[in-house]
Amino acid sequence: ARGSCRVKLPRRVFTAACRAAVGSRDVVFAKRIAIDMAADDVKYDSYTVAALTSLLGSSGNATDQDTAFAVFVSARDAPDTQLGGAAWSCAIGGLCRAGRLDKAIELLREMGNEPFMAGGVAPGE
């Protein structure tokens, strides 16, 4: 069998794909984006995390919700990545929809220590 020739795509392509997935509410596409970003070792940004966790977390499917939380954790724990309030809120909302309230409360407590929470104003506001 022939191997596939896969080209590593730049992050801006994944950002555009996330915008399309959000616009169409396509959970399958969102999951594929998350898988491809991980396979290409593409660094998540706050927008892609918010978009993917929102779509996957709202699917009602436990596997999709697990993928959403894995995306969030990967981005949160990556060096030189700072997630904004939207990414945190989407991850917490997904946990709530999945019935994982203890984990959601734990993230709410962690979120209180994030730089964007200083002064109670989100970046850009």
Q: What is the mean pLDDT of the chain?
A: 87
Residue 26 has pLDDT above 50, yes or no: yes
The secondary structure of residue 45, as a DSSP letter, is -
Tens of pLDDT, residues 35-84: 999 988 888 899 999 999 999 988 888 888 889 999 999 999 998 888 99
The residue behind tokens 């801006």 is 12
Q: Which pLDDT score, from 0 to 100, does residue 97 have?
A: 86
- The two three-digit tokens of residue 58, written as one number: 């709202």
Supply the pTM of this predicted model.
0.82
Q: Which residues contact 112 (CB under 8 A, 6 or more apart)?
A: none
- The one-letter code for the residue type at 52 is L
pLDDT of residue 107: 93
Between 4 and 13, whose confidence is greater? 13
Least confidently predicted of 6-10, 21-25, 31-35, 113-117: 6-10
Supply the pLDDT for residue 121.
53
Tell me the C-alpha distance between 71 and 109, whole Å: 19
pLDDT of residue 120: 56
Q: What DSSP string describes 76-121? A: HHSTT----HHHHHHHHHHHHHTT-HHHHHHHHHHHTTSGGGGGG-
